[in-house]
Amino acid sequence: MRLVVTDYGFPNLAPERAALEPYGVEVVGHQAKTADDVIAIAQDADALLVQWAPVNADVIAALDRCRIIVRYGIGVDNVDIAAATAKGIVVCNVPDYCLDEVADHTMALALATARQIVPIDARIRAGTWKITPDAPMPSFRASAFGLVGFGRIAQAVAERARGFGFRLAAYDPFASPEALAAQGVEAMPLDRLLAESDVLSLHAPLTPDTKHLLNADTLATMKPTARIVNTSRGGLIDGEALADALERGVVAGAALDVFEAEPLPDDHPLRRAPNAILTSHVAWYSEQSLPALQRLAAEEAARVLRGESPKNPVRL
């Protein structure tokens, strides 16, 4: 059997080989960038491990033997799940790694923007010493921390935010108000959550319904003192609308680890927007999470190639 790694940003594929070669699976690594690249290397693969390469309907139509596609990570935006399912190929992700890392990074961004760390540092370096901030800075105990989505990472963020005294609220159409209340989180409709949040943290999947959930219209409903954090999917935010909102003071700040186009284009207005903290999709990373991601993805492929049921299939 042959497993193709379409693309990867890891130092090596040792964890994949350790998990798969005992079962007679050859692991072949590539750095595909386009759908045509993937077709050229994967037509005879029994399994695919995919990081960023596009696995669209054309790619899936060309797969002659593939039984499973595993996405390195939680999101599966770059895999056509419907086309794969129609062809009998199971698609899996790795939702059970880096939960603490992403939650920690989310809180680091939330704290940095809410406490205005970056602009205060900049003004000191520019020669200005003041013991008060330039913009309003409410205490965390007087602030509402809103969560869009309440999956595992959002719940870990809520646990951390609770420790700082924030009032917690969430919008998640799949979570019951009782389940939220049991964790000290108030259930809110989206419009109210946007209107009341002092810090708004996004933790929703990217779907046609959630694409550009934050846009010019919805941003205009938020407090002018609100701060937005996104460590989920870049497409949840219309980046140009957010940059404009920051320029005009519609919202006070944003701290983003994910973007609709990555790398973030050099000419994107978010690079010049005031009160924006930008990190380069690193929330998932720690010295421990990297090999764990590789191992867990490979173990999922191994299960299916052995004829077993997958642990984390992605449903339509």
Is 21 labeled as catalytic in the residue annotation? no
Kindly tell me the sign of the dihedral angle through the C-alpha atoms of 14, 20, 22, 28: negative
pTM: 0.89
pLDDT cut 90: percent of the chain above it: 98
Strand partners, 170: 147, 187
User: Which residues of the chain are in CATH 3.40.50.720 domains?
Assistant: 2-97+287-305, 99-278
User: Average pLDDT of the chain?
Assistant: 97
> What class, spelled out in words, does domain 99-278 have in CATH?
alpha beta
Task: Specify which residues 214 forms β-bridges with.
Answer: 237
Sign of the alpha-carbon torsion through 303, 309, 311, 313: positive
Q: Give the model's pLDDT for residue 2.
A: 98
How far is 283 from 277, CA to CA, in rounded Å? 13
pLDDT of 181: 96
Nearest to 20 by CA among 41, 42, 47: 47
pLDDT at 315 over 90: no
pLDDT for 223 equals 98
Whether 152 is catalytic: no
- Mean pLDDT on 233-249: 98
User: Would residue 268 show up in a list of annotated catalytic residues for this protein?
Assistant: no
- Given this model, what pLDDT does residue 232 score? 96
pLDDT tops 80 at residue 316: no
pLDDT band at 113 (very low <50, low <70, confident <90, very high): very high
Contact criterion met (CB below 8 Å) for 233 and 211: no
Residues 40-47: what's their mean pLDDT? 97
Structure confidence by residue, pLDDT tens digits, 68-80: 999 999 889 899 9
Give yes or no for a contact between 45 and 4, defined as CB atoms under 8 angstroms apart. yes
First-to-last alpha carbon distance for the chain, in angstroms, is 27
pLDDT beyond 90 at 305: yes
Question: With bands split at pLDDT 50, 70 and 90, how would you rate the model's confidence at 90?
Answer: very high
Q: Which of 17, 281, 295, 303 is catalytic?
A: 281
Q: How confident is the model at residue 38 (pLDDT cuts 50, 70, 90)?
A: very high
CATH 3.40.50.720 corresponds to the domain 2-97+287-305 = yes
pLDDT at 233 over 90: yes
What would the pLDDT profile of 132-176 be if each residue is shown by its tens digit? 999 999 999 999 999 999 999 999 999 999 999 999 999 999 999
Catalytic residue among 26, 115, 262, 272: 262
The active-site residue, picked from 16, 167, 233, 260, is 233
pLDDT band at 188 (very low <50, low <70, confident <90, very high): very high
Q: What is the four-CA torsion angle of 53, 213, 95, 159, rounded to 10 degrees?
A: 140
CB 305 within 8 A of CB 117: no
